[in-house]
Structure 1
Amino acid sequence: MGVAPPAIAQVLVPHTVQLDEVELQEQGQLLAEQAAQLAQFGQFELAMPLAKLAVQLSPQEGRSWEILGRLYLRMQEADKGIEALERGRTVAPENAGILLVLGSANFQQQNYQKAVEYLEAGLKINPELPAAWFDLGNAYYMLNNLELAIERYEAAVIRDAKFWPAINNIGLVKYEQGDLDGALLKWGEAANIDKEAAEPQLAIAVALYTKGEKEKGLATGEAALRLDRRYGDLDFLRENLWGSRLLKDTEKFLATPRMKTILAGGTRQ
């Protein structure tokens, strides 16, 4: 009987799936959009890992960095947000979304000059965004360039005639310029567009009271504060870009017994 031949070990070589660059890019873009959808519903904690993976898979895709940057900003991590957006800008310098979000982020960081530069650059690429013109107007306002602020607010209104915050802020600027009647006109336009907006109504109330139309001003102020009592807080008004002249007059107005009663939650007898 012959000797059996020695067994030959069979080495199984695992099959490795090689994902090409295009597939990785597409997968990264898909994950980024899924993260953006989650963020729209406030699911930031679920969206963040998807966005981080998206930039790993598609680091040359500006949109992925934009979404990651926006998420960081929504989660109050401004430095990380700006860093991600800057990474996106290096790979996609013509991405208007990245530039505009960088502008808004720098505004929140009180870097108003940088905010202007990014917003201007983004609007050169995509000039049809009223909210971005509004942000740019706010940045110029904070730099005390009041004429340019008004021009940018007007650009927002040209693109959306019902964009009342821009009309309202033209009123804020005019009041600081000493044009009380011009401010009243703009606040009236804003209040007519959104009758539930407390801000222009309170501004009208203060202006009327300051002009000497005290009863009308107080009645208008009551209506405004019943809509939203936050506008009875000077710090809140300052955050909403009410200037020093208007804040000074508002402080006097809110100190009246009728306004104190409203803010205390009472009713006028």
Structure 2
Amino acid sequence: MLFRNSLLSIITVFSLFSFSSPLKAQALLPYTPELNQDFFDEYGSQLLQDAVQLTRFREYELAVARARLAVQLSPHRYESWFILGTLEIQDNNLDGGVKALQEAKRLAPEQADVLFSLGNSYFQVGDYESSVKEIQAGLKLNKEIPQSYFDLGNAYYRLSKYSDAIESYQQAIKLEPQFWPAINNIGLVEYEQGKINEALESWRKALKIDENQAEPTLAIAVALYRQGKREEALNLGQSALKMDNSYGSMAFLKENLWGDKLLEDTRKFFANPEIAPLVKKETPEKTAE
């Protein structure tokens, strides 16, 4: 708020002394610099840098405030809208983030990063068709971003376009062979397709890259439990939930793209007396989702 008040004071002083009508005692007036758009752009750039720095300390509210002021100073610059939109999304203001990124796209339709971010924001609000469209447009401009192929795969997966999802994940892996989340998500798709053995193979590949990941460990446990391999499944499940207890939440798993078939089998697995104590107790609202 300090930046906003200081700027408003400068603008107020400037406006008071910019009239052409004669004033009395002009010799006593303080010197007022001419404030042109370059000044506002420079100030706006500094505010954006401050906002980015604040995000490193998770001070999103302060960061968003600076980004909003930067947009007021330089509404013609796509960078201001781009950073504001990204921060609004991080601060969970999804509608505000989408609107800001839409404006960034209007100002810079050929900026791949803007299109990728807009596509990701559409995904978060549940508009998967628009997500696919924007990410595809970005990939036409820059085909070397593994994360964007991963995001595209996630959007296809939500649309139940399983073949397209796997193809997108594979493209991400081609660009970055150690990208275990893409390998993990291929397993999620395969499980929904009824290809349990293929899913197990994918999750094991993900663990070869990083053996300390709870998600593929838990997924393997659930699949093995369905196959009747109870002892191995229970040991893996306990290990996974001790690694990261967030995965003991059905709502969290759904948010992380676990499909209906895998979720149903997970409910059965979580009901086991040896696993149940590690499972998060959720409200009826979350359970109903």
The alignment's TM-score, normalised by the length of structure 1, stands at 0.88
In 2, the alpha carbon distance for the partners of 1:230 and 1:11 equals 68
2:238 is the counterpart of 1:217: no
Q: Is the 8 A contact 2:40 2:74 kept in 1?
A: yes
2:53 is the counterpart of 1:37: yes
In 1, the alpha carbon distance for the partners of 2:66 and 2:233 equals 52
Q: Equivalent residue for 1:114?
A: 130
Q: CA deviation at 1:125?
A: 1.8
Paired residue type of 1:258: E
Q: Is the 8 A contact 1:62 1:95 kept in 2?
A: no
1:1-269 matches, cutoff 5 A:
11-12=26-27, 15-263=31-279
Cα root mean square deviation, aligned: 2.0
In 2, the alpha carbon distance for the partners of 1:38 and 1:232 equals 32
Q: CA deviation at 1:15?
A: 4.5
The count of residues paired between Structure 1 and Structure 2 equals: 257
Q: Equivalent residue for 2:285?
A: none
Paired residue type of 1:214: R
The alignment's TM-score, normalised by the length of structure 2, stands at 0.82
Q: Is the 8 A contact 1:133 1:155 kept in 2?
A: yes
In 2, the alpha carbon distance for the partners of 1:10 and 1:248 equals 82
Deviations 1:53-86 (A, max 9, x none): 2222222211111111112112221111111111
Paired residue type of 1:80: G
Q: Is the 8 A contact 2:248 2:278 kept in 1?
A: no
Q: Is the 8 A contact 2:249 2:279 kept in 1?
A: no
Paired residue type of 2:102: E
In 2, the alpha carbon distance for the partners of 1:169 and 1:230 equals 18
Q: CA deviation at 1:261?
A: 4.1
The verdict on how the C-alpha distance between 1:17 and 1:227 changes in structure 2, with shifts beyond 3 A counting, is: same
In 2, the alpha carbon distance for the partners of 1:153 and 1:36 equals 30
Q: Is the 8 A contact 1:119 1:136 kept in 2?
A: yes
Q: Is the 8 A contact 1:29 1:61 kept in 2?
A: no
Q: Is the 8 A contact 2:146 2:175 kept in 1?
A: yes
Deviations 1:129-177 (A, max 9, x none): 2222111111000000000000111111122222111110000001111
**Structure number, greater radius of gyration:** 1
State which drifts further: 28-37 or 157-166.
28-37
The verdict on how the C-alpha distance between 1:253 and 1:48 changes in structure 2, with shifts beyond 3 A counting, is: closer
Deviations 1:11-53 (A, max 9, x none): 4266442234344333322321221121222122322232122
In 1, the alpha carbon distance for the partners of 2:140 and 2:39 equals 33
Paired residue type of 2:190: K
In 2, the alpha carbon distance for the partners of 1:33 and 1:194 equals 34
Paired residue type of 1:49: A
Q: CA deviation at 1:10?
A: 6.6
In 2, the alpha carbon distance for the partners of 1:11 and 1:228 equals 70
State which drifts further: 240-249 or 224-233.
224-233
Q: Please list every run of 5 or more consecutive structure 1 residues that lacks an aligned counterpart in the other structure.
A: 1-8, 265-269
State which drifts further: 194-203 or 29-38.
29-38
Q: CA deviation at 1:117?
A: 0.9
Q: Find the residue that maps to 2:269 and give its secondary structure.
A: helix
The verdict on how the C-alpha distance between 1:205 and 1:18 changes in structure 2, with shifts beyond 3 A counting, is: same
Q: Equivalent residue for 1:267?
A: none
